């Protein structure tokens, strides 16, 4: 693992204690603000966890978990969506520290045949489409974790549904679930690992995430969250039957609180490995995250404090360095925002996508102004006041 390249960068960062940290609101104040924002956005369900000094200090669930009106609870199973990617990156870093994987070694070196020679498998991408484009040989784990592999988000979004590399790998950020799928493929086919089992053993069990899994479990059904779409229509929970590191994880707000605390404390990692996850790896040069393959901004219009970490996006704000990750589908809105000073985080899981409009206000209410890139993440969404 080559982490020495970050030593100089980390050494130049000001001491995290140099930034003044706003006082955290009480649990009662958080409850009241959540209730207000749910009324404003019409969100039916939302759960919140707060971490301060690396410890879980608040976990609560509000509203409904389904159209029948059953209450959302802190142990209700909810869809994690793309927050899955952060847990996968956390798992992968353990493999890096054990010497099983090198972030900068071409992934081709781990495979027993050229990538385009693998037969079509519905669990992965149509790698055969890459035949004739030798740039696949340059792809590394670091590139895929920083969303710089050159792929569209998913091959289904390509007009002809053909997988292709749109730019030289490693040269720019373009969000891609396909890149994460390729990394999963390399771990499973190249290293012979069961990725779901590795995440269970390395993360879920040590952090006591008892109601979290990468695939559907029957014991989730009695306390399961359905969702609501942007037009207020209920949507049943999708029982995902195969591991997808891009976004198949089910979890609870209580479990994600433990995950956030374990993450900021670097549990199971060296200090250097934990720091690498949230260190700036690659500048982000677009106005918004989506559409994935949009043109880059002119240099003078780019946000200089915004960069890709490993599985997260990192930023610099009035409280110093921070990082975040979002998760979204038609009936789910999630976010996880941390400021490194005092190891403070807010995790929000919402089973109503309309709650996303409340995220900037709610995170700011709890953490104060962080500098999190809300407009880059959500584009033209109208935020709640």
| pLDDT value for 1 | 44
Nearest to 107 by CA among 164, 3, 187: 187
Radius of gyration for the alpha carbons in the chain, expressed in angstroms and rounded:
20
Query: Does the pLDDT at position 294 exceed 50?
Result: yes
Is residue 110 a part of any domain in this protein?
Answer: yes
Q: Taking the CA atoms of 21, 27, 31 and 32 in sequence, report the sign of the dihedral they define.
A: negative
Provide the domain count of the chain.
2
Same domain, yes or no: 256 and 336: yes
* Residues whose CB falls within 8 Å of the CB of residue 285, separated by 6 or more in sequence, listed in order: 172, 173, 296, 297, 302
Is residue 54 a part of any domain in this protein?
Answer: yes
Rounded distance between C-alpha atoms, residue 93 and residue 351, angstroms:
30
Nearest to 295 by CA among 113, 139, 166, 141: 166
Q: What is the DSSP letter of 313?
A: E
Same domain, yes or no: 35 and 118: no
Mean pLDDT of 46-75: 98
The token duo for 50 is 């707060």
Same domain, yes or no: 337 and 272: yes
Give the rounded percent of residues in the chain with a pLDDT score beyond 70: 95
Rounded distance between C-alpha atoms, residue 127 and residue 149, angstroms:
13
Is residue 384 a part of any domain in this protein?
Answer: no
Contact 335, 321 (CB under 8 A): no
pLDDT, one tens digit per residue, over 264-291 is 999 999 999 999 999 999 999 999 999 9
pLDDT, one tens digit per residue, over 110-126 is 999 999 999 999 889 99
Query: Does the pLDDT at position 5 exceed 50?
Result: no
Same domain, yes or no: 228 and 337: yes
Rounded distance between C-alpha atoms, residue 351 and residue 367, angstroms:
22
Number of residues written out for the chain: 385
């Amino acid at each position: 693992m080559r982490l020495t390249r970050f030593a100089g960068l980390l050494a130049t960062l000001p001491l995290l204690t140099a930034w003044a940290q706003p006082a955290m609101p009480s649990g009662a104040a958080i409850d009241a603000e959540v209730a207000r924002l749910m009324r404003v956005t019409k969100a039916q369900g939302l759960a919140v966890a707060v971490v301060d000094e690396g410890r879980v200090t608040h976990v609560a669930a509000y509203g409904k978990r389904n159209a029948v009106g059953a209450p959302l609870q802190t142990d209700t199973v909810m869809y994690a969506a793309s927050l899955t990617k952060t847990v996968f990156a956390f798992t992968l870093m353990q493999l890096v520290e054990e010497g099983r994987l090198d972030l900068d070694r071409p992934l081709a070196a781990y495979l027993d045949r050229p990538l385009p020679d693998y037969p079509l498998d519905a669990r992965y991408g149509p790698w055969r489409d890459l035949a004739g484009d030798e740039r696949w040989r340059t792809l590394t784990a670091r590139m895929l974790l920083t969303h710089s592999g050159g792929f569209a988000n998913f091959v289904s979004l390509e007009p002809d549904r053909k997988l292709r590399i749109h730019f030289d790998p490693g040269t720019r950020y373009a969000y891609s679930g396909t890149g994460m799928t390729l990394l999963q493929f390399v771990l499973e086919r190249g290293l012979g690992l069961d990725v779901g089992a590795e995440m269970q053993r390395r993360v879920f069990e040590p952090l006591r995430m008892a109601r979290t899994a990468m695939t559907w479990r029957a014991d989730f059904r009695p306390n399961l969250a359905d969702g609501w779409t942007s037009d207020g229509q209920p949507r049943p929970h999708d029982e995902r039957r195969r591991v997808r590191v891009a976004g198949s994880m089910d979890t609870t707000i209580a479990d994600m609180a433990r995950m956030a605390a374990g993450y900021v404390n670097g549990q199971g990692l060296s200090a250097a490995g934990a720091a690498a996850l949230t260190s700036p790896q690659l500048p982000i040069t677009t106005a918004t995250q989506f559409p994935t393959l949009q043109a880059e901004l002119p240099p003078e219009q780019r946000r200089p404090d915004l960069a890709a970490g490993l599985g997260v996006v990192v930023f610099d704000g009035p409280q110093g360095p921070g990082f975040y990750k979002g998760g979204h589908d038609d009936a789910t809105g999630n976010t996880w925002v941390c400021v490194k000073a005092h190891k403070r985080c807010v995790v929000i899981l919402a089973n109503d996508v309309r709650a996303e409009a409340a995220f900037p206000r709610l995170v700011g209410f709890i953490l104060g102004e962080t500098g999190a890139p809300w407009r880059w993440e959500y584009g033209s969404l109208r935020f709640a006041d």
